[in-house]
């Protein structure tokens, strides 16, 4: 029999609604009125929590209940240490405590616990919590939320970060740092990884200031928790990994004009022709074992918006008052003493010295990321306004080849070169594309010695026709030499005779008989 006079004062009662988790039945027994919380136990959890006598492989936790806030759970277990074998909390703080603090309820600190003997672990407010003569031991796999330890934005959470790190297994795991709207978290000291591979998943819009976090920093999307910086299976070997030192995360706040979290500036005001190389930002990677990768520089932009133009951009500004040279000479480090004005937005320079040096494979490679099947709609797109002289120029060396390779099997496949002019008002006479052959004359002036171009003859629907012209330079004048004209179906080919194009016409059969005809050109 239980004295019912004290039931209403138990902290597990909801005095606002009168909903009592504990009542006395007709026989005077203390009973739970809520449906027991059912938690499916994994083998890993069983191995990690062998102290719990109620855990049976493949079964459910017994005599479990859910509490509003950790303080309510602790108060009940302190008063009745033998009533529960396991329990859950929907929040670290009660709803009333969250309201007082001005944070959302639940606060993200809910967890599942088993009741273990007192002194089983070190009480840290999260993984082990003292409750009278016993302890609450949290289920923690390879991910832990600092809200399970009572972390609040705007406060020093050094001890909480260390406790969260210590709660993870020796194989490491993830420490989740959410945004509770109370400002950045602070830490009065650097947080080391403690020999564990760690990821710090920090919600966008918050930060940990005052110290550094050793391990991999991953920013999280504020709405659904998606990784912002990393998502592929090779994350452990990605440029965001840092197993050798501290990683400092800097977040651009929306209040900062332009959102500029990191700026590095150098000024080279050395005397003219001084061989110095000040660098605003340097990245270096070294691969020494077969089959490995390295990233000297890695940049990534993600978009979750239906509109916009996210990009990685590199700019160069010519503010010298001197026009840039039209030369396409490309010179790497060491080629500073030049008479040409050659500001370059992006220079890809191959290098290497010594007996083991070899040519590098590819200057610019465009492909899909990791094992993704997604690709670019266009590999290289050149805005005519962005290229005053040449779109693509290949210079230097003894070989200047453009090679297009289609390695698919099949009789109808092969490389295709498209010269496209998608005019909104097509008309006869419109040139569609041109291949020009250039060289110098005796005075080293550039001359066009030949060209092939295609053009529209008729753009009417059902009557579309075109011509393909082959022009050569004759006596200093560019003139048509051969013309294929689809408009003249009976005489589609013209050649130059006597300085003018003449159509090739079909004549009578020759002496060889039927099947042989004479092709004649009008005088």
How confident is the model over 125-136, as pLDDT tens digits? 999 999 999 999
Among the ranges 157-171, 343-357, 367-381, which has the highest mean pLDDT value?
A: 157-171
Report the 3 state secondary structure along 115-168: EEECCCCCCCCCCEEEECCEEEEECCCCEEEHHHHCCCCCCECHHHHHHHHHHC
- Is residue 336 situated within a structural domain? no
* Residue 493: per-residue pLDDT: 78
Please say whether the beta carbons of 46 and 61 come within 8 A: no
CA 14/CA 236 separation, integer angstroms? 46
User: Quick one: 30 and 61 in the same domain?
Assistant: yes
- Is residue 85 situated within a structural domain? yes
Give the CA distances from residue 439 to residues 200, 389, 436, 444, in Å, rounded to whole numbers and listed in that order: 60, 16, 10, 8
- Is residue 381 situated within a structural domain? no
User: Quick one: 27 and 82 in the same domain?
Assistant: yes
User: Quick one: 107 and 56 in the same domain?
Assistant: yes
User: Quick one: 99 and 169 in the same domain?
Assistant: no
User: Quick one: 92 and 186 in the same domain?
Assistant: no
pLDDT tier, 407 (very low <50, low <70, confident <90, very high otherwise): confident
Phi, psi of 177 (to 5 degrees): -120, 95
pLDDT tier, 44 (very low <50, low <70, confident <90, very high otherwise): very low
pLDDT tier, 474 (very low <50, low <70, confident <90, very high otherwise): confident
* Residue 341: per-residue pLDDT: 80
Work out how many domains the chain is built from and give that number.
3
Domain that holds residue 514: 431-521
Answer with the one of 114, 139, 164 that is the final residue of a domain: 139
CA 19/CA 76 separation, integer angstroms? 16
User: Quick one: 16 and 100 in the same domain?
Assistant: yes
Answer with the one of 212, 235, 259 that is the final residue of a domain: 259
User: Quick one: 129 and 239 in the same domain?
Assistant: no
User: Quick one: 120 and 194 in the same domain?
Assistant: no
- Is residue 384 situated within a structural domain? no
pLDDT at 109 over 50: yes
- Is residue 208 situated within a structural domain? yes
User: Quick one: 151 and 86 in the same domain?
Assistant: no
Q: Where are the beta strands (DSSP E) in 384-464?
A: 431-440, 446-458
Answer with the one of 259, 287, 305 that is the final residue of a domain: 259
User: Quick one: 148 and 160 in the same domain?
Assistant: yes
- Is residue 454 situated within a structural domain? yes
Give the CA distances from residue 347 to residues 324, 387, 400, in Å, rounded to whole numbers and listed in that order: 16, 16, 18
CA 204/CA 223 separation, integer angstroms? 9
Please say whether the beta carbons of 302 and 325 come within 8 A: no
User: Quick one: 116 and 152 in the same domain?
Assistant: no
Average pLDDT over residues 40-45: 41
- Is residue 244 situated within a structural domain? yes
- Is residue 280 situated within a structural domain? no
User: Quick one: 107 and 10 in the same domain?
Assistant: yes
């Amino acid at each position: 029999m239980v004295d019912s006079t004290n039931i209403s004062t138990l902290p597990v009662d909801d005095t606002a609604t009168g909903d009592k988790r504990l009542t006395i039945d007709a026989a005077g027994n203390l009973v739970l009125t809520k449906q027991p919380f059912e938690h499916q136990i994994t083998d890993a959890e069983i191995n990690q929590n062998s102290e719990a006598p109620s855990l049976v492989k493949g079964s459910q936790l017994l005599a479990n209940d859910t509490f509003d806030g950790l303080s309510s759970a602790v108060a009940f277990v302190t008063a009745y240490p033998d009533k529960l074998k396991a329990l859950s909390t929907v929040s670290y703080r009660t709803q009333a405590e969250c309201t007082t603090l001005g944070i959302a309820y639940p606060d993200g600190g809910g967890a599942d616990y088993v009741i273990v003997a007192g002194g089983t672990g070190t009480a840290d407010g999260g993984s082990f919590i003292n409750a009278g003569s016993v302890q609450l031991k949290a289920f923690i796999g390879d991910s832990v939320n600092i809200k399970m330890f009572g972390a609040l934005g705007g406060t020093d959470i050094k001890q909480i970060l260390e406790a969260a790190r210590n709660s993870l297994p020796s194989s490491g795991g993830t420490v989740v740092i959410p945004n509770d709207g109370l400002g950045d978290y602070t830490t009065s000291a650097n947080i080391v990884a403690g020999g564990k591979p760690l990821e710090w998943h920090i919600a966008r819009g918050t930060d940990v200031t005052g110290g550094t976090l050793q391990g991999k920093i991953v920013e999280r999307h504020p709405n659904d928790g998606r990784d912002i910086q990393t998502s592929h299976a090779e994350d452990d070997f990605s440029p965001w990994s840092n197993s050798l030192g501290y990683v400092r995360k800097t977040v651009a706040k929306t209040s900062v004009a332009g959102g500029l979290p990191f700026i590095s500036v150098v000024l080279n005001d050395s005397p003219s022709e001084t061989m110095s190389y000040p660098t605003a930002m340097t990245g270096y990677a070294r691969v020494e074992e077969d089959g490995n990768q390295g990233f000297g520089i890695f940049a990534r932009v993600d978009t979750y918006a239906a509109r916009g133009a996210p990009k990685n951009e590199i700019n160069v500004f010519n503010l010298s008052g001197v026009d840039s040279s039209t030369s396409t000479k490309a010179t790497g480090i060491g080629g500073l003493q030049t008479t040409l004005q050659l500001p370059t937005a992006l220079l890809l320079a191959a290098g290497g010295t010594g007996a083991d040096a070899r040519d590098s494979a590819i200057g610019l490679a465009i492909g899909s990321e990791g094992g993704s099947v997604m690709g670019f709609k266009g590999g290289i797109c050149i805005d005519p306004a962005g290229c005053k002289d040449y779109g693509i120029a290949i210079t230097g060396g003894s070989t200047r080849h453009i090679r297009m390779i289609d390695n698919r099997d099949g009789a109808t496949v092969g490389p295709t070169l498209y010269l496209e002019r998608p005019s909104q008002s097509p008309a006869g006479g419109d040139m569609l594309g041109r291949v020009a052959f250039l060289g110098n004359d005796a005075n080293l002036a550039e001359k066009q010695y030949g060209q092939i171009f295609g053009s529209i003859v008729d753009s009417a629907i059902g009557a579309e026709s075109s011509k393909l012209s082959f022009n050569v330079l004759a006596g200093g004048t560019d003139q048509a030499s051969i013309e294929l004209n689809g408009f003249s179906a009976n005489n589609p080919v013209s050649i130059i005779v006597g300085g003018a194009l003449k159509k090739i016409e079909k004549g009578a059969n020759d002496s060889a008989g039927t099947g042989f005809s004479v092709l004649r050109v009008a005088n």
